[in-house]
Chain A
Amino acid sequence: MSTPLLDRPSALPRECVAPLVDLVVALADNKHALGLRYAEWCSSGPTIEAGVAATAMAQDELGHARVLYGLLEELPGAPRRSEHEWVAADARTVAFVNAPFAGWPHLIVANLMIDRTLATVLETALESRYLPLRQRARKIIEEERYHAIHGQSWLAQLAADSPDVRAQLTAGLRDIWTDVLCWFGPADGGSLRALVDAGVLAEAGDAVRSRFIAQLAPVLDAAGVPAPLRGAGGRWDLAEPLPWDRWDERARRIRPS
């Protein structure tokens, strides 16, 4: 017997509403901020083609934020958000997107890490029982394929450029590392567990983090960019513990120490 779809907010189990609101706000706020940061490179990319690609990714991210904000309008208790009323100070964003990127290598780190993290979490909603989320996730993931190719190709190119550029990539990666790796939630998924139990998401926590690491590690390894990962027998694990004592589950970011 197939599980019935949840086609409207009132059909959601009560315990799912607050975690879903928090997740959608954080997804959309980070996408909106990332779109603004990409847009700053529209006319200053390393080549004309790179600038146009940054523009297209900015449009995609701002568009994804808009459709995700649309989800919030239907959910009870959700904060008011729209692309026209966006206030950076209220946004639940990771620190890396709160200021302009220091250079093109930092844009590529954001592309490879933040963009990919948000997409990996949305992939867990591709078969969601909550129809409004599932429909939006499918459209977003289709466009994200090109963002992934962009990030991986540019990482390889920049890493082969010079020790200075490789050092910038390594520094950017170190800045974003814990925010991104914690984004999937604690081992059991934390607040996202209720969404997994209700079939709103397929997985959360360690299961999704492992998939993200399995895709990322070979890319970094091939480019020769160091990261706190340990590989053995085709399996990659974190080489350092994550700072869960500073993790803000609601805003989905690390509190400053």
Chain B
Amino acid sequence: MQTIGDEPVYEVFARRVEGEPLRHVGSVAAPGDALARVYARSIYDEESWLEMYVVPRRAIIAVDDVRGEAVDAHA
């Protein structure tokens, strides 16, 4: 059981129109995917989004190493 107020963070991404890149609009803390969807819809409703997604922050993989290699390649 998760303590209320100590829930995992979900990053929220959305796009306004077809063809526009998905952009990061914020984050929510929620005990699971279902409530993360509800919270993202309630909090980031300032625009009529065409699509909106929530991604568990733990599922996001840092690419620092790749960036380092790319920089090296151009050194």
Contacts and interface: CB of A to CB of B under 8 A. Distances in A.
Contacts, number: 51
B30 A56 contact: no
Interface stretch (B17-25, B34-42, B55-63, B67-75): B34-42
Nearest to B34: A153
Contacts of B37: 146, 149
Interface string A55-91: 1110000000000000000000000000000000000
A146 B5 contact: no
Interface residues of B, number: 19
Overall SS of chain A's interface: helix
A49 B39 contact: yes
Contacts of A46: 4-5
Contacts of B1: 160-161
Contacts of B2: 157
Contact of B5 (A47, A57, A160): A47
B1 to A, nearest CB: 5
B42 A55 contact: yes
A150 B5 contact: no
Contacts of B45: 56
Interface of A: 46-47, 49-50, 52-53, 55-57, 146, 149-150, 152-154, 157, 160-161
